[in-house]
Amino acid sequence: MRNLRRRSLEVLVRKLLDNLGIRNIPIPVDRIARALGAQVRFWPLDEELSGLICIKDGVPIIGVNTLHHPHRQRFTIAHEVAHLYLHREHITSAVHVDKRFSESVLKRDAASATGTEWLEIEANRFAAALLMPEHILVELLTVSPIEIDEEGPLEELSKKFHVSKATLQFRIRNLLGELGTRKRA
């Protein structure tokens, strides 16, 4: 059930990338946001706030906290893109504020999530899939396999995607886990 959900997210991401003709990394997340009709605004915000999204005069506005690391800003944009792409009916003129997407939220068991938490979990998964598309990641790992705990190669790879090492590691673990489950099934 969870895997199915993850799988459909991967499919949706692939469709979005193909439609926009995006084949290379780093994935231009702000270009994707604009292709979906959104304005991206960069602004220094309180440390606790990652980003936000709302509709103003019919135009989706995505806000990003510039005080965060650029990698984190990219994840924030991807997360807001997910809300726009997957949860359009939930986005209104009321500003939807996203606070820190901590590892604990990322790792939390989806089964225990409430309705709104589920939206955030889904947005995080979509964001990870968008920043590190499965087909590109798998291809790179096939050409040059790495040990997931090897710092050097992992860092090298994370630089190519313009994401943090931890985010990449988490993504690879999830993909490996899922592929393993599918093979066994």
Partner 1 sequence: MRPEPVYRRIGAIIRSQRRRLEWPQHALAARLGMSRATLANIETGRQRVLVHQIYAFAEVLQLKPTDLLPPDSDGQPAADLTKLAIQGDVNPEQREQIARLIGSQSVSLKSKKKIDAKSAKKIPGSSRQKTAR
Q: Nearer to partner 1 by C-beta: 97 or 174? A: 97
Nearest approach, Cβ of residue 97 and partner 1 (Å): 5
Residue with tokens 């309705």: 115
Q: What are phi and psi of 18, to 5 degrees?
A: -65, -45
Name which position in 1, 19, 21, 48 contacts partner 1 (CB under 8 A): 48
Residue with tokens 């439609």: 19
Binding to partner 1 in span 67-126, by CB under 8 A:
67, 70, 93-97, 99
CB 62 within 8 A of CB 74: no
Give the Cβ contact number of residue 24 at 10 Å.
Answer: 8
Asked if 45 is part of the footprint of partner 1 (rule: CB under 8 A), the reply reads: yes
Instruction: Count residues binding partner 1 (CB under 8 A).
Output: 30
Q: Nearer to partner 1 by C-beta: 24 or 102? A: 24
Asked if 61 is part of the footprint of partner 1 (rule: CB under 8 A), the reply reads: yes
Separation between Cα atoms, residue 19 and residue 119, nearest integer Å? 24
CB 168 within 8 A of CB 27: no
Name which position in 15, 41, 88, 135 contacts partner 1 (CB under 8 A): 41
Question: By three-state DSSP, how is residue 68 classified?
Answer: coil
Contacts with partner 1 by CB under 8 A lie at 24, 26, 28, 30-31, 34, 39-46, 48-49, 52, 54, 56, 61, 63, 66-67, 70, 93-97, 99
